[in-house]
Amino acid sequence: MKRTLGTCYYPEHWPEEIWQEDARRMADAGLTWVRIGEFSWSKIEPTPGVLHWDWLDRAIDVLGAAGLKVVLGTPTATPPRWMIDKHPDMLAVDADGNPRKFGSRRHYCFSHLGYRDESHRITRMMAQRYGQNPHVAAWQTDNEYGCHDTVISYSNAARDGFRLWLADRYGDIDTLNTAWGNIFWSMEYRSFDEVDLPNLTVTEPNPAHMQDFRRYSSDMVVRFNKVQVAEIAAASSAPISHNYMGRVTEFDHFKLGKDLQIATWDSYPLGFLEDRVGADAAHQRAYARQGDPDFQAFHHDLYRAVGRGRWWVMEQQPGPVNWAPYNPSPLPGMVRLWTWEAFAHGAEAVCYFRWRQAPFAQEQLHAGLLRPDSEDAPAMAEAQQVATELADAPDVQPAQAPVALVFDYDADWAWTTQPHGVGLSYFGLVFEHYKALRRAGISVDIVPPNHTDFTGYQLIFAPGVMHLPDALRSALSGAEGHVCYGPRTGARDAGFKIPVPLPPALDGLDVTVTRLESLRPDMPVALKDGGAVTGYLEELETTAPMLLETQDGAPVLVGDAAQSYCGAWLDATGLDRLVALLAEMASVPILTLPEGVRTRRTATEEFWFNHTDQQVDTPAGTLPPAGITRRPL
Amino acid sequence: MKRTLGTCYYPEHWPEEIWQEDARRMADAGLTWVRIGEFSWSKIEPTPGVLHWDWLDRAIDVLGAAGLKVVLGTPTATPPRWMIDKHPDMLAVDADGNPRKFGSRRHYCFSHLGYRDESHRITRMMAQRYGQNPHVAAWQTDNEYGCHDTVISYSNAARDGFRLWLADRYGDIDTLNTAWGNIFWSMEYRSFDEVDLPNLTVTEPNPAHMQDFRRYSSDMVVRFNKVQVAEIAAASSAPISHNYMGRVTEFDHFKLGKDLQIATWDSYPLGFLEDRVGADAAHQRAYARQGDPDFQAFHHDLYRAVGRGRWWVMEQQPGPVNWAPYNPSPLPGMVRLWTWEAFAHGAEAVCYFRWRQAPFAQEQLHAGLLRPDSEDAPAMAEAQQVATELADAPDVQPAQAPVALVFDYDADWAWTTQPHGVGLSYFGLVFEHYKALRRAGISVDIVPPNHTDFTGYQLIFAPGVMHLPDALRSALSGAEGHVCYGPRTGARDAGFKIPVPLPPALDGLDVTVTRLESLRPDMPVALKDGGAVTGYLEELETTAPMLLETQDGAPVLVGDAAQSYCGAWLDATGLDRLVALLAEMASVPILTLPEGVRTRRTATEEFWFNHTDQQVDTPAGTLPPAGITRRPL
Amino acid sequence: MKRTLGTCYYPEHWPEEIWQEDARRMADAGLTWVRIGEFSWSKIEPTPGVLHWDWLDRAIDVLGAAGLKVVLGTPTATPPRWMIDKHPDMLAVDADGNPRKFGSRRHYCFSHLGYRDESHRITRMMAQRYGQNPHVAAWQTDNEYGCHDTVISYSNAARDGFRLWLADRYGDIDTLNTAWGNIFWSMEYRSFDEVDLPNLTVTEPNPAHMQDFRRYSSDMVVRFNKVQVAEIAAASSAPISHNYMGRVTEFDHFKLGKDLQIATWDSYPLGFLEDRVGADAAHQRAYARQGDPDFQAFHHDLYRAVGRGRWWVMEQQPGPVNWAPYNPSPLPGMVRLWTWEAFAHGAEAVCYFRWRQAPFAQEQLHAGLLRPDSEDAPAMAEAQQVATELADAPDVQPAQAPVALVFDYDADWAWTTQPHGVGLSYFGLVFEHYKALRRAGISVDIVPPNHTDFTGYQLIFAPGVMHLPDALRSALSGAEGHVCYGPRTGARDAGFKIPVPLPPALDGLDVTVTRLESLRPDMPVALKDGGAVTGYLEELETTAPMLLETQDGAPVLVGDAAQSYCGAWLDATGLDRLVALLAEMASVPILTLPEGVRTRRTATEEFWFNHTDQQVDTPAGTLPPAGITRRPL
Ligand SMILES: [Zn+2]
Ligand SMILES: [Zn+2]
Ligand SMILES: [Zn+2]
């Protein structure tokens, strides 16, 4: 499939007179795709039951006539004001018990049945009207599920739904009481109707209670999306996508992705570095205009897995955004770099958000390809350059990487439910493994926890997967590559209990976690020969060979050629050593890359990226700031 | 008018037996004014409709008989407990939806019609009883409007009032939808009755929605005050004042001030430095016992403008206060310095808060001129010294300063609504300009945004006035002095949209802000030849001469002899350069003052103040710590 | 009385088949005591009125048969879920007005009469069933009153109870208005029914209002406990205890303790250092695996006073806990050290919490003596070592210390109500005095504010006792030892007013606090000859001899051989100087101990403890990390 570009457009924001000129300029810039519609419900249905499709018909016609392909979004992220009068209890409720009111977007609770029906209704009408439209070449459901912390809702609808979900999962209340260990503080229920939501408890709720509520909440997102997908698929053969948001982990993207044909995500490198990467101030300063050198790549690899090979960047940052604590301009060249990086990781398309900067409302300080006065913004030239460069570039060709890294949303919730130490997060743990692999020049495949065929992987990492499902446990145990487990891998059963025999209870590797501790950030435990444990450390009882140990001789990484277990959260130096050691064992070649330089291989090409604002010498030659090299293998 | 001193007194707090002795000591200390009454509603009307004026009659008599002039305050900041039973919904509501309960003060919502009527009623009775009293020489409405964050209320009364206000402003709902850009996220309303308050939204509300709610909230304060003023003016010819609180910017002090004869403010230099100046720790440490050297002066100049020349300090800190995070004692001499500084800026009177430290209730650790045991507190001697010094001092003589600085409350709300970067505030921006002017030894007039006659000003600054009203735009454009605009000046239309052509769209100066960014505090952008941009930077498209530029050669300050535009938030060194450069252009002489030394000129005198705790050599001679020099011009 | 060990056990958490083996292993390990029952209400009464005692009968039998003595806890900290349906308004309410819901523990409001009756009912049944059981050798009421911030509740039940309590205390509403100074801001009430709770006020409530609400809230805890004690005492002659929690000061432990025979407390040295000691980061780092060297000792001495000589550690941390920000493992040897330290301070028993780590629910990461798989955890060996060492140790022999330190809960509330400066707390002040005494090698007795016989004490400290009751004032004034008062001692009358004549108004010492200030942490005021004032400083008017002064010559500590007054919060060096100076005056010998080394004397023994992770030379010989020396006197 050809690599393509696109943009996000809001015809309803602009006078109809300029649509045609906009469309022409998009096509001239080399764009293929234009996403529309996803916030336009009040324009489509200004009054309940009164549908205005004409403007959308015309918008699609104009865009299609210019040779553009339309991605049509369902408008369910922004129900109109009248919807709240119709369903006053459809609003999500925050942890303090306050309703999350109308006035921005995503003002609905996924558990609310009335709103689910409304979402069903508008989707059906839209699908039936445009399902056979020749210009509608793809679909998007809703917009950024979970953005603005909208997965978890403590509403009455959620409470009622959770009780049914529990009844379905556990069958009878005694089974639930036993699974959760409710005897602990006399928390036993006599019926499912007694179960309340785990907010506003005097001290922390039972982690099993919280974890199941997180699972339920994720399932509600999947259920909500499934209704839309079914209606669209019934009316259209165009692929269906959803645009996931970076580091939104409150619902299971893999489970939702199973119902889609294409996974897309919204990539805001500078905004993310400021508000969610979690780096220290020096790193944030050094990359303030470039973004973290691994954060986007991680998501690219993640959504390649979520989309089973088919994925896009649906929203690509083209300049300063409006929503981070600080909103700098990108270093010249970064918009091009980000775009090529997505292609290097296998993207089919990259769409810039947004076509023209809006002069009004919440995102009026969010840059577009055009300025509010319709002049080209700086990103336009970089987009056009990529469009030109794409002309002689090969098609998207997925290739399996030598290394697999398991990513499990259930584990992310488990660490959030029970971090044990401040700041310990599953996403952070996996991401730090990913960064170490990238620093070693290794291309990585991210795989879901229900992955069972690890053929071809020389090295597999499964850190922090707190509950290791039987199928994954057995697939990893039978993998031909080396498998590295831990820390905390297999630490809980499905009901959030510590299993006995104690974790990780691996076949063929004698290692038991007998005690574990979390550590202050200022008390690293040094490793012999370099690096340190930070934040989290397990005591291992083991007869296995010691691969890494503390200066006091306590085992940290133990294992053999087939598998290993790491009982610690290692710092960057420690992770570099772990990666080097296991890569050598598994015959995966590694590199030592200059700071901020990254490389990625597809089946046919090798890419080099300079994420720094300085010129750097790399094995692939000297790269200017924000420089890229692409060469055939 | 003669410069005078006064104090704030609460006869209702003390046994009637000591009133006469108190009054005698006030007069002996050289005080002219005594403010009373503003918290005494429960003493006046202990039960609804049962009025006890007798004690107040006697208190005024006693004070008047001692030769003191009374400032009589309406008691509406402290409605009695029974009022809440009568109007349970009169309480303000916080952003989380909780009522702000009885038990301290300011427990009312400005939008509540029932409470407005009660305020009307008590004011009318008070005005009619004391309007012709020979000792009542001035009035005060309420107390510190807006203190304790009381302007904005998310009550039902506010919601209802806001809808009417919007209907009045916009006429029909489509006009509002268009002005706000509600199409953006399907936020369109079908009627004004659908508009809710902008709190508890899922993510940020529309900035236009928030900005209009701030404007509405300010208008309610003005409306509330107007009712009192009308009643008092109908019964009394004594001047009417209100005591504004430092850095309370949530309502428009100019608009409210139009209804008053005298503006007064409450000056707590040490408390302010701890809780609202916003200085860094080193500065807070260095001035912990003196207060910021510019913060009081800024407010003096502001209230001179608010009062159209007539202004007082109604509450002057005389020792440690009780309400800041830390409450140190002033350096000896500072109470005198603060008092003289107010006179240097044109104050008619300075009143010390309070006469005697109260041994009970919330402010029991707030110093007075007397200790709780009626002995003199340390401030008494300094007040008496000022009284003596005033004997041979000239009268208050207003004089126009060479430099004007626009201060616009609407702009302050706009920056609060949309700071774009953490910590960027309009007040902060204007205050940093003010400090730079003061470091250069320049006396400054602050002017309101409806000022249209800039005759006599050699240099005019209008930084950050996000919406530039037509009249101001045209007045500045026609000013004879040099006008310096920006950053963000003229960046929004009246409805909070980015205008096209893009800002600032100045007549006769070719400069366009094509992109803007906010910056982490740790990533200043250096200026060529010294200083830096911090926090906020615009990209300027311009053919105008470049007056300041970045090290990379990007324009920062551009302009000619008549006007200039600064597209950046400059650090202190940068602002000093900007001031020096424009002052030279405008032929305003400047000085280089030692750290912490400030000077101010009136029509007839020059004052020098040493705000440090060290002896300092100044052009006006050597000043001891907290030293003052005053000399005729 | 023989020193003994024990543990906390939850038979309801485990299959009945393993009880006997558990009991056998407890006895084999040398344990005497086993506490059970305190969280088991839902097991005892799964449905209202249906009582299941059989399992508890059998558990007590099994434990007793193994030779163990049972401490039986009432289960009122964990009412079952059905209780909430019966009494929906029994939940406590937080300061924002939200109910604190079911789902963990301590979900009840002490003011709720319905729940008090339920607590009465279950206690009566339990007392009557087991009051004569030969194995039940002691009782515990509820569990950790006040833990999780549960003393203060803003419920309707609390509001109603508070009104009655006020009516009882003040008799008529005018007396209350006068005592609180409600005239201040027209806060006067016309009847007790108008008094509301002091939360959600616009700015701070009247401190007198808050202080009385704290006193009321404390009284409710005492009342709640009294009901249980009466029922147990009616049915059993075994001693009754409660397990207090470290640094929970919201209720008066002395008042509650009067109704008990034994005071116990729950000692979690590592958790406390992380979440409540309040030390700086360097100290937290240095003692992360050992705990603060004084925090446990302080509580030991406190509960020796609360229990009038009879006290235990009911829960001793045996490994990492689950609830602190960071949860490290103890240094090897510390479990033994903590145990012996308790005995050195006079404990009768030390019980490890818990027997076996639970694999489920909230505390699944809280270590026990056994791992979840029933293997010995590391603490087991240390417990067994202590058991062995106890064999030849003498009995518990209380001995009066040479120095007394007053601890007053009412003063703690007063400082919390009115700290005057951020971070100033009464507990912190007293604890820093205690640390200085310990650094000087001095054994200390903590005494309650109703202590009147100070015979035998050479030196008595009463810092920060803001309201000095008449009896204490007179007892101190007549004490034979030197009494050191201040800062803030005697600063308020019983109704939270500043008394006149001004504080401290001591008999025989001419000193008056004429002004006071709080200081930023970065502006210490240096003492002449070393040390400094930090955070809080009083101006003293005095003719008494100056014992410590500032570098500017202002008096800080003044006094004579009989008594002294310190008008400042001193840093560690300053407190060391104060202690040395007064100890010399009072002929109390002092030592200079190495960092982290502490010593304590009983009537017959001297103990030395090394709290560091390094070997240290001490006057009692070289101690290894976590080392102990015990020698007869
Ligand atoms: Zn987006
Ligand atoms: Zn005031
Ligand atoms: Zn406990």
The encoded tokens of residue C376 equal: 């010995």
CA dihedral (C471, C476, C477, C483) in degrees, to 10, reads -160
Spell out which residues of chain C touch residue A554, defining contact as CB-CB under 8 Å.
none
Of residues B516, B508, B509, the one with CA closest to residue B464: B516
Q: Is pLDDT above 80 for A396?
A: no
3-class DSSP assignment, residue B88: helix
Euclidean distance between CA atoms C429 and A328, whole angstroms: 47
Give me the amino acid identity at C559. G
C388 φ/ψ angles, rounded to the nearest 5 degrees: -65, -45
Q: Do you find a cis peptide bond into A15, omega within 30 degrees of 0?
A: no
Mean pLDDT of A623-631: 96
Mean pLDDT estimate for chain C: 97
A156 annotated among ligand-binding-site residues: no
Instruction: Pick the ligand that lies closest to the CA of residue B363.
Output: 2
Contact B39 C514 (CB under 8 A): no
pLDDT, position C395: 84
Instruction: Pick the ligand that lies closest to the CA of residue A352.
Output: 1
Partner residue facing B105 (CB), from C185, C420, C495 = C185
- Span from the CA of B320 to the centroid of ligand 2 (angstroms): 14
Confidence at B182, pLDDT banded by 50, 70, 90: very high
Give me the amino acid identity at B431. F
The architecture in CATH of the region B4-153+225-390 reads Alpha-Beta Barrel (3.20)
pLDDT, position B116: 98
Residue in A45, A118, A274, A315 annotated catalytic: A315
What is the percent of chain A with per-residue pLDDT over 90, rounded to a whole number?
97
Mean pLDDT estimate for chain B: 97
**The residue to which tokens 């999947």 are assigned:** A222
Mean pLDDT of B15-26: 98
Mean pLDDT of C419-436: 98
**Is B274 among the residues known to form the active site?**
no
Residue in B38, B45, B118, B144 annotated catalytic: B144
A101 φ/ψ angles, rounded to the nearest 5 degrees: -80, 165
**Per-residue pLDDT tens for B115-124?**
999 999 999 9
Contact C105 A206 (CB under 8 A): no
Give me the amino acid identity at C227. V
**Per-residue pLDDT tens for A134-149?**
999 999 999 999 999 9
Residue ranges of domains in chain B: 4-153+225-390, 156-210, 403-585, 597-632
Q: Over the range A187-211, which residues count as b (16 or more CB within 10 Å of their CB) and which as e?
A: bbbbebebbbbbbbbbbbbbbbbbb
Spell out which residues of chain B touch residue C204, defining contact as CB-CB under 8 Å.
104, 323, 362
- Span from the CA of A322 to the centroid of ligand 1 (angstroms): 11
pLDDT, position A102: 98
**Per-residue pLDDT tens for C535-590?**
999 999 999 999 999 999 999 999 999 999 999 999 999 999 999 999 999 999 99
pLDDT, position A306: 98
- Span from the CA of C147 to the centroid of ligand 3 (angstroms): 9
Partner residue facing A47 (CB), from B190, B205, B208 = B190
3-class DSSP assignment, residue B101: strand
User: A202, A488, A539: which to substitute to probe chain C, counting the most C Cβ within 10 Å?
Assistant: A202
Check if the beta carbon of residue B306 is closer than 8 Å to that of residue B353.
no
Give me the amino acid identity at B387. A
The residues near C198 (Cβ < 8 Å, ≥ 6 apart) are B103, C205, C206, C209, C210, C213
Confidence at A633, pLDDT banded by 50, 70, 90: confident
Spell out which residues of chain A touch residue B183, defining contact as CB-CB under 8 Å.
12-13, 42-43
Mean pLDDT of A496-508: 97
The residues near A212 (Cβ < 8 Å, ≥ 6 apart) are A162, A166, A169, A180
Check if the beta carbon of residue A230 is closer than 8 Å to that of residue A201.
no
**Per-residue pLDDT tens for C195-253?**
999 999 999 999 999 999 999 999 999 999 999 999 999 999 999 999 999 999 999 99
pLDDT, position B311: 98
B323 annotated among ligand-binding-site residues: yes
3-class DSSP assignment, residue C541: strand
Task: List residues, by chain if needed, whose CB lies under 5 Å from ion ligand 2.
Answer: B 266, 315
Interhelix angle A295-306/A334-344, nearest 10 degrees: 40
Check if the beta carbon of residue A327 is closer than 8 Å to that of residue A271.
yes
Euclidean distance between CA atoms B464 and B407, whole angstroms: 9
Check if the beta carbon of residue B559 is closer than 8 Å to that of residue B553.
no
pLDDT, position C399: 85
Check if the beta carbon of residue B588 is closer than 8 Å to that of residue B296.
no
Check if the beta carbon of residue C373 is closer than 8 Å to that of residue A499.
no
Check if the beta carbon of residue A460 is closer than 8 Å to that of residue A484.
yes
pLDDT, position C603: 87
Euclidean distance between CA atoms A250 and A108, whole angstroms: 16
Contact C103 A516 (CB under 8 A): no
pLDDT, position B412: 98
B147 annotated among ligand-binding-site residues: no
Confidence at A397, pLDDT banded by 50, 70, 90: confident
CA dihedral (B332, B338, B344, B348) in degrees, to 10, reads -130
B589 φ/ψ angles, rounded to the nearest 5 degrees: -70, 145
Give the distance from CA B337 to its chain's centroid.
20
Cα distance from N-terminal residue to C-terminal residue, chain B: 19
How far lies C155's CA from each of C36, C111, C162, C202, in Å?
Answer: 31, 8, 10, 19
Mean pLDDT of C479-483: 97
CB atoms within 10 A of CB B606: 17
- Span from the CA of C483 to the centroid of ligand 1 (angstroms): 69
Confidence at B395, pLDDT banded by 50, 70, 90: confident
Full strand arrangement of the beta sheet holding A605-610: A597-601, A605-610, A628-632
Q: Is pLDDT above 90 for A438?
A: yes
**CATH number assigned to the domain covering A403-585:** 3.40.50.880
Check if the beta carbon of residue B206 is closer than 8 Å to that of residue B184.
yes
Mean pLDDT estimate for chain A: 97
What DSSP element (H or E) covers A182?
none
**Is residue C398 packed enough to be buried (19+ CB in 10 Å), middle (13-18) or exposed (0-12)?**
middle
Of residues C393, C290, C349, C298, the one with CA closest to residue C31: C349
Residue of B nearest to C539 (CA): B329
Q: Is pLDDT above 80 for A1?
A: no
**Per-residue pLDDT tens for B105-142?**
999 999 999 999 999 999 999 999 999 999 999 999 99
pLDDT, position A399: 84
DSSP A454-489: -TT-SEEEETT-SS--HHHHHHHHT-SSEEEE-SST
Q: Do you find a cis peptide bond into C378, omega within 30 degrees of 0?
A: no
Report the top-level CATH class of C4-150+221-390: alpha beta
DSSP C327-340: -PPPPTTHHHHHHH
Euclidean distance between CA atoms A61 and C566, whole angstroms: 85
Check if the beta carbon of residue B192 is closer than 8 Å to that of residue B85.
no
Compute the half-sphere exposure of residue A271: CA atoms within 13 Å on the CB side of its CA. Answer: 20
The encoded tokens of residue C202 equal: 């616009």
The encoded tokens of residue A183 equal: 């005897």
**Per-residue pLDDT tens for B232-249?**
999 999 999 999 999 999
Partner residue facing B371 (CB), from C189, C422, C502 = C502
Mean pLDDT of A419-445: 98
